[in-house]
Structures are given as C-alpha cells and as structure tokens.
Amino acid sequence: MMEKQFEYMDILKAIADDTRMAILQSLKSGPLTVSDIEKITGKSHSTTSQQLKSMLNVNLVTFRKVGTQKFYQIRDNQIFDMLESISSYLSTSEVISTTKGEKVRKILLMGLDNSGKTSILLSFLGNKNLVSFMSQNLKPTNGKKHMSEILADLKLESKIQPECVYFEYGGQVVFREEFKKDPISILRGFDKIIYVIDIQDDKRYEESINYLKEIANCLENISPSYEMDIFLHKFDPNIDINKKYSQPTINEKVIGRIKQIIPVGFKNTVYKTTIYTVFRKSLIMQTYHAM
C-alpha cells in the first residue's frame, strides 16, 4: 500500500500549536511514554493524548509498543532542521528590516579574518548556499569595502535590494593594526556594528574578544547610544552536540566574557548565526514495480 503523502499545510498546522510544539521538543532527546511527556510538558493526560493523536495522523510522530507500554518518537529528525531554519529566518529578517520612513541605515561588519563576514553579507544579499560560498573561494576582504564592491570582486549580482547599506571591514592583522591607529575614521558614520565571532574557532576566542573590546571602547567615545549586534557565527545545525559548543561552554567562554567587556549602558544583542543550508530532501521520481 502506498503511504499517504502529507502536504506542507498538514505539517505546518501540526506544529502550529503550543502544546504540540512542547511535545515535539520533549521528544527531541528520544522516545517517551505519554506519562513521560506529561511530566516534561506539564499538560494533562487528555490534552497530551489528543494532541499526540493529531501528530500521529500526519506522521510527525510514530510509536512502538514494548509490552503494554507505547513509546512515542519523532518519525524524522529533519523536522528540527526546519525549526532551526525558521529561527534563522527570523533573526535574519530582523537584521535586514528597518522601520519605514527612517533614513537608510549604514551597517559595518567587523570581526577577525575568516570569521564569516563576507559570507554573511552575501547571504543578506540573497545568496544563501554555503556550497556556493566555498566554490567561490572567498578571498580576504581588503580593508573597508561597500557591499557593491564585494559583489563586484566576486563577479556576483544581488538578488535582493537590502534596506540597509552594508560595509565590511576586513579582519586580517594588517587591517586590525590600521584600525588601532585611527579607529574613529573607520567607525564614524555607521548606525550599527555587527561584530562576528567564529564559534568554531575556539582557539581564537580571546583574540576576537580583545578586538571586540577595542571596538566597543572606541564606540563609547563616538556615541554612548551606539548599537551593536554580536553574531556567534558558524553555529551550524547540531554543533552543540559537541561539548565544546554546548550552551554552558559558550556561556562561560564567550557570553560571560562579552558581558565583562561591554561598557555599561551600551546596547548590544547577541545572536547565534549560520549560513549552513539545512539538509533537504525533495522527491524527483517514484516508481512502483508490481510483482
């Protein structure tokens, strides 16, 4: 018998509910019985059973019987890639959008060499495929570059017109030394800095945080109301399975250090970011051989 093919809408509806989302998250760590799920989500027995039934109906969840007990589990963990993707979409939209009527904002990306600034800029401009960044052999950015210069250097065109104007300041040592000599001339005129830290480069956390400190101190002199976003970048899907990148380690080694060095009253927001494309599976052809 051929399995029923579920449509986008069925799946989206099946997760668009607080209780069902809580059940989904509870099953992330492995199969559970209804009473296990109830303990984690704090929902009643009847609500949990009812919602599980609708999740079973669209094949989001399956179960296995062991003796008299039923263990529920996620049918395919790709559903979590999709949720990651939505989170990433939301944080990118927030970065790109500006309030209507405001003057066009100028944003400068800074960070160590190889932290991923050019890649992030390209993804803001509509190029969202990591493989294409690799095959383009991204070269280090030479000093302060406008987004159009970066695109021209890579012989690319933008698919979208961003609402902000982006610049990148290359992170190689030679440019960081130049920055030290006259930081104000580099930072002046921007409404916001996006500071990028390569989370997979744990040997250089301190180096990156020291550079961030120099920038923050200087911004404080230009204007105390300066805005800065900090991207903990290359936070690819599931890297936090590795203890090196787990939340407690990152809190201690990065977030805690950022809190220590950012001047009081300074507005900054920290995001986890990645340009990694989630695994995709699309149906090309289906054949059926009758015996």
Ligand X SMILES: Nc1nc2c(ncn2[C@@H]2O[C@H](COP(=O)(O)OP(=O)(O)OP(=O)(O)O)[C@@H](O)[C@H]2O)c(=O)[nH]1
Check binding of 276 to ligand X (CB under 6 A): yes
Check binding of 118 to Mg ion (CB under 5 A): yes
Residues in 19-78 at the binding interface with ligand X, rule: CB under 6 A: none
Q: Closest distance between ligand X and the C-beta of residue 133, in Å?
A: 4
**DSSP conformation letters of 238-276:** TGGGSGGGSHHHHIIIIIHHHHHHSPTT-EEEEEE---P
Check binding of 115 to ligand X (CB under 6 A): yes
Check binding of 114 to ligand X (CB under 6 A): yes
Q: Closest distance between ligand X and the C-beta of residue 278, in Å?
A: 12
C-alpha–C-alpha distance, residues 117 and 110, integer Å:
7
Residues in 49-108 at the binding interface with Mg ion, rule: CB under 5 A: none
**How many C-beta atoms lie closer than 10 Å to residue 58's C-beta?**
18
Span from 61-69, 110-118, 206-214, 279-287 in contact with Mg ion (CB under 5 A): 110-118
Task: State the helix-helix crossing angle for 34-41 and 18-26, rounded to 10 degrees.
Answer: 110
What's the CA angle centered on 132, arms 126 and 138, to 5 degrees? Answer: 95
Check binding of 117 to ligand X (CB under 6 A): yes
Which residue, 72 or 195, is less far from ligand X as judged by CB? 195
Cα dihedral 30, 35, 36, 41 sign: positive
C-alpha–C-alpha distance, residues 133 and 116, integer Å:
10
Check binding of 133 to ligand X (CB under 6 A): yes
Q: Closest distance between ligand X and the C-beta of residue 97, in Å?
A: 21
C-alpha–C-alpha distance, residues 230 and 109, integer Å:
10
Question: Reduced to 3 states, what is the DSSP secondary structure of residue 72?
Answer: strand
Which residue, 23 or 121, is less far from ligand X as judged by CB? 121
Query: Cα-flanking dihedrals φ and ψ of residue 234, to 5°?
Result: 65, 25
Q: Closest distance between ligand X and the C-beta of residue 77, in Å?
A: 20
Check binding of 127 to Mg ion (CB under 5 A): no
Q: Tell me which residue has tokens 């986008």.
A: 8
Binding footprint of ligand X, residue count (CB under 6 A): 22
Q: Closest distance between ligand X and the C-beta of residue 254, in Å?
A: 16
Check binding of 141 to Mg ion (CB under 5 A): yes
Query: Cα-flanking dihedrals φ and ψ of residue 71, to 5°?
Result: -105, 120
What's the CA angle centered on 230, arms 116 and 163, to 5 degrees? Answer: 80
Check binding of 81 to ligand X (CB under 6 A): no
Residues in 145-204 at the binding interface with ligand X, rule: CB under 6 A: 170-172
Q: Closest distance between ligand X and the C-beta of residue 282, in Å?
A: 23
Pairing verdict, β 227-233 and 267-272 = parallel
Quick note: the x/- pattern for ligand X over 94-113, rule CB under 6 A, is -----------------x-x
Check binding of 245 to ligand X (CB under 6 A): no
Residues near ligand X (CB under 6 A) are 111, 113-119, 133-134, 138, 140-141, 170-172, 233-234, 236, 274-276
